[in-house]
Chains A and B, each alone.
Chain A
Amino acid sequence: AQSVAQPEDQVNVAEGNPLTVKCTYSVSGNPYLFWYVQYPNRGLQFLLKYITGDNLVKGSYGFEAEFNKSQTSFHLKKPSALVSDSALYFCAVNTGTASKLTFGTGTRLQVTL
């Protein structure tokens, strides 16, 4: 069975500082990894994905994530946080044969001035 762990319920960052939101996964076979963001009263929006190739993936709004196979991690990063980045972030995993995307429990990012 596939699973995702987001060990932090909340991450607090000052605007302008770098941010990291952690994600580790467990899956049989090669993983397909995703990050989504959810703003209040909205559905989830796709940020970026890792399927194959370069371990560093760049996505929307200046976010990037690094795939680390040995540590089974896919941490989300941004060099300089904005207050508008405050939202709920979900990591998710799938494989080529799985029909469903499995999500973590989410991490709330709070960026303050």
Chain B
Amino acid sequence: GAGVSQSPSNKVTEKGKDVELRCDPISGHTALYWYRQSLGQGLEFLIYFQGNSAPDKSGLPSDRFSAERTGGSVSTLTIQRTQQEDSAVYLCASSPRGQGNSPLHFGNGTRLTVT
């Protein structure tokens, strides 16, 4: 079956511009996560959606970052007024129920470069 799909795969933008990154999770998965992967920094948790519950936004690094999940499926991560330090790979993952013992299924990521 189809896995987690992310678009675009690559995005180059100028400093100060806004960008939107899209994630289409595996059908039927109620939990959706966004992580950021920077060189040498491992994976940094950004935000978590579970069903209709309020999202866990505790990892968002600043108020320039926001995310929404429409209809319990597709999610969009928006970065406003991008900065060079936002350059990273943004990974989306989903899991069937968001339980702690369930593995995450990752997309291939969006590589964001801010010039």
Contacts and interface: CB of A to CB of B under 8 A. Distances in A.
Contacts of A97: 100
B48 A90 contact: no
Given A32-B101, A41-B108, A90-B43, A100 B48 contact: yes
A37 B72 CA distance: 28
Interface of B: 4, 33, 35, 40-43, 45, 48, 50, 56, 58-59, 91, 93, 98-101, 103-109
A49 B114 CA distance: 36
A34 B103 contact: yes
B42 A98 contact: no
Given A32-B101, A94-B100, A99-B48, A105 B41 contact: yes
Per DSSP, chain A at the interface is loop
Interface of A: 32, 34, 36, 41-46, 49, 51, 90, 94-106
Given A42-B108, A96-B100, A99-B56, A90 B45 contact: no
A106 B59 CA distance: 19
B40 A100 contact: no
Most A Cβ at <10 Å: residue of B33, B43, B99: B43
B65 to A, nearest CB: 16
B61 to A, nearest CB: 15
Contacts of B42: 90, 103-106
A94 to B, nearest CB: 4
5 contacts: A46-B103, A99-B56, A103-B35, A105-B42, A106-B42
A42 B4 CA distance: 12
Given A43-B109, A100-B56, 8 more contacts: A43-B108, A44-B43, A90-B42, A100-B59, A101-B100, A102-B45, A103-B43, A106-B43
Contacts of A95: 100
A49 B102 CA distance: 9
Contacts of A90: 42-43
A28 B58 CA distance: 19
Question: What 7 A-B pairs are tightest by C-beta distance, nearest first?
Answer: A43-B106, A105-B42, A103-B43, A46-B103, A94-B100, A44-B106, A51-B101
